[in-house]
Structures are given as structure tokens and as C-alpha cells.
Amino acid sequence: MKTPREFVPDDLGTPATIADPYPVYRALRDRSPVRYLRIPGGAISGIADPIHAYALLRHSDTVAALRDPGTFSSDVMSVFPIVPRLTLLHDDPPRHTHLRRIVNRAFSPRRVADLEPWIGRVAASLFDELGEGEVDLVRGYAVPLPVQVIAHLLGVPPEEYAQFRRWSEAVTSYRSMLAEERQANARDMAAYMAKMLAARRERPANDLLTALVEAEVEGARLETPEAVGFCMLLLVAGNDTTSNLLGNMMHILAERPDLYRRAREDRSLVDPIIGETLRYESPVQRLVRVTTRPVSLSGVEIPQGSVVDVMYGAANRDPEVFDDPETFRLDRPLSASVAFGHGAHYCLGTPLAWAEARITLNMLLDRYEALSLGTSPPVRQQRGMMPFGFDALPLSLRKARG
């Protein structure tokens, strides 16, 4: 009989854990926070020395950190200088609060609601192209839909969509792309966004870029670097994250044909399926913070200036909060889920992600009688430690008849 493997803290940063983190989370949760080697120094990271991080694997520790931005700072540039600075994501209050008030005016639920009919038309077109039989749902649907939605929202022409996706992948590709290449992509993306914003100042249009350059709160407008940073954040968070949500959801349903049949007959299950997907396979597994002072969590002393890895995926399977957390269930309240963050940094794009997921699932259920795993195995992402999704998802689709 094979002896079960003993996990150690360093396993939190390995390719195997990136592909399937949950066994490591379970093994180490009782030791949270744990200190481990997060990123080895060298050419890929662009950092000379290895970085050690404290991993927060308990729900209580995660929420405590997210509720205290004064201690757990989002301004991580001193630790990860190669990461493009993303407005809001890398800002702390009061700057974050001020910027978010401006952006809220430009990115409202009403704007998302007005966008839903267009999203539906794009989704229908993509499903038309897929047809039926065995298809790759990631490359054929889960990737192109969010790319087109974000690009449309920003006012980017369709011929630029493919470049947008490449930029988004570059930002999260810690392991598969050299630092120099990532930095070059970040510079190209920032230059393109600055050019687009300048064009909107000269000639306004009905898009988010125009709303950003025109938005005011108490007489203040976004400066160009701040607007560029927000556009880059929206591109990454609204693109890669939503792609992973859609892919994870379709894979879960392909593995559960009875649930798929139930959802076809009872559409009240659509929102619970989306919510439980976000908890069960969180599309953002972790984000980092840096401590501004010494702090104690779960009896562990964390020094000032430490890197803290806030593990959303681990928190969302904490048995102290979620009963039977390793089981996909639709009967659980999900108010404790941190899939979209918590506190000041709760995801601004949550309504858009939900809209895309709801439209996708309803259309999938309308068009296809059955959804099942394909003959080729799915391929989990290995681009970085933050996203959790698929690079390839072969599924078999059988159209509904009559």
C-alpha cells in the first residue's frame, strides 16, 4: 500500500499545488499561518533573493487580514517590483477609498445591466460557432467571451481582442514567462491604454474609457497613470478571473450529469451553482499583502515587512465555516465566501462576472441536453499562483432536440 505523502510548507509554491492545491491546504490548515518559500530568486521572478511568505489558510485569518488594510498593505511594489501597478488592487485607504468612489461612478450595476443584452448576443454567437460534439470550452468560449466583454466595455475595437488576451495572460504568468518579457508586455499595455484615454479626452464615446476620464468626485478626476492602472486591473480581473469561473463551472457540471439535468428543469439552481463554484473552485486562489507592523494571527507572530499570502481558495474550504467543504453542495449559505474578496477590496467587477456566468449557464442549459467530459483530459493552468482554471477543457456537447 502506498504511503500518503507528507506535505510541507514549501509545497504551497510548487507546480503540483498550483494544479491541485486543496490536499496541501487540508494538510497545513491547522498550522496556519505557515511560513514557506513563495518564489525562488532568479530570472523568472526577476528578484535576486528568495521570498518567504506567511500563508493564511484559515477563514478567520483570511478575513482578519482583509478587514485590516492598515496592517496588511496591498502596496506590494517593494516586494514584487515586476508586477504592473494596478490601481485599486495595489492601493490602500484612504487613497483606495478616494479612487474607488470615482470608479464606482463609471462602473455601476446599471452599466452592467445595460450591457447584458449585448453579452447575450456574443454568448449566442460563440455557442453557434461551437456547435456540438467534443469541443474545447476554454478556447472556444470561456476565454473569448470575457475578452470581448471587457474590450467592448472599454471601447476597444474587435481587432485588438487577441492582443488584450495576451496582455492579460502576461500579467499573471509568473512561472511561464521571463521577467523581461512580462515587463515589456506591461509597458506595451500601459502605452496603449494611455493612448486610448487621450483619444477619449479629445473625442468622447459611450464607453468606460470616456466615463473614466469624465468621472468626478468632489472636483477630482483620475490622473492618466491612475486611469491606466485601473484599465489594466479591469483587463486582468475581468478577463482571466471570469474565464476561470466559466471554465470551472462547466467542468464541475460535466462531472455531475445529474446536477446538469436538474438545472435544465429547475433554473432556480443557476445562481446557487455559480455561487458554489466560486467557493468550491475559487478562480482567484490567493493574493499577497505586506505587513506594516508586527502582528499576531492564530498565535503566530508575523514581523513587520513580511509577505503574507492570503489564500482565498483555502479559506473557502475551511471546515470551521463550511460544513462538508470538500463536497459541491447547493444547500449551503454562501455569505461567508471570500471568492470575490472581503472588506475594502471586495471585487468591483462582481456584478459583471455574475452576469456573464448567469447568461452562460442559462444558454448552455437551453441549447444542450447533455454536457460530459471529453476523450482528452482537461489541462489545468500553470501560468501563476494566483489564478485557478483550465488551459484546455475538452467537453462533449449534445444539443437539445425539438
Which is nearest to 161 in space by CA: 169, 177, 149, 173? Answer: 149
pLDDT for 44 equals 38
Residues 6+ apart with CB under 8 A from 299: none
Identify which of 179-193, 208-222, 313-327, 379-393 has the greatest average pLDDT. 313-327
- What does the pLDDT look like over 302-331, one tens digit per residue? 999 999 999 999 999 999 999 999 999 999
Instruction: Read off the pTM.
Output: 0.90
8 A C-beta contact, residue 33 and residue 49: no
DSSP string, 191-221: HHHHHHHHHHHHS--SSHHHHHHH--BTTB-
| 366 three-class SS | helix
In what order do the strands lie in the sheet containing 286-291?
A: 34-39, 51-56, 307-311, 286-291, 72-73
| 225 three-class SS | helix
pLDDT band of residue 185 (cuts 50, 70, 90) is confident
**What's the distance, Cα to Cα, between the start and end of the chain in Å?**
52
8 A C-beta contact, residue 174 and residue 385: yes
Q: In the predicted model, what is the mean pLDDT of the chain?
A: 87
- What does the pLDDT look like over 10-19, one tens digit per residue? 999 888 898 8
Which is nearest to 25 in space by CA: 280, 213, 401? Answer: 280
- What does the pLDDT look like over 368-395, one tens digit per residue? 999 999 999 999 987 667 889 999 999 9
In angstroms, the CA 300 to CA 8 distance is 17
In what order do the strands lie in the sheet containing 394-399?
A: 133-136, 394-399, 368-373
Axis crossing angle, helix 95-106 with helix 224-254, rounded to the nearest 10:
70
Over residues 102-117, the mean pLDDT reads 79
Residues 6+ apart with CB under 8 A from 118: 152
Any idea what DSSP says for residue 3? P
For residue 85, give Cα distances in angstroms to 77, 129, 189, 342. 7, 37, 12, 21
Any idea what DSSP says for residue 158? G
8 A C-beta contact, residue 253 and residue 270: no
In angstroms, the CA 184 to CA 190 distance is 10
Asked whether the predicted pLDDT for residue 402 surpasses 90, the reply is no
Number of C-alpha atoms within 13 angstroms, CB side, residue 352?
Answer: 26
User: Domain 9-399: which topology?
Assistant: Cytochrome p450 (1.10.630)
pLDDT for 173 equals 56
CA dihedral 182, 55, 303, 287 (to 10 degrees): 40
pLDDT for 153 equals 82
pLDDT band of residue 260 (cuts 50, 70, 90) is very high
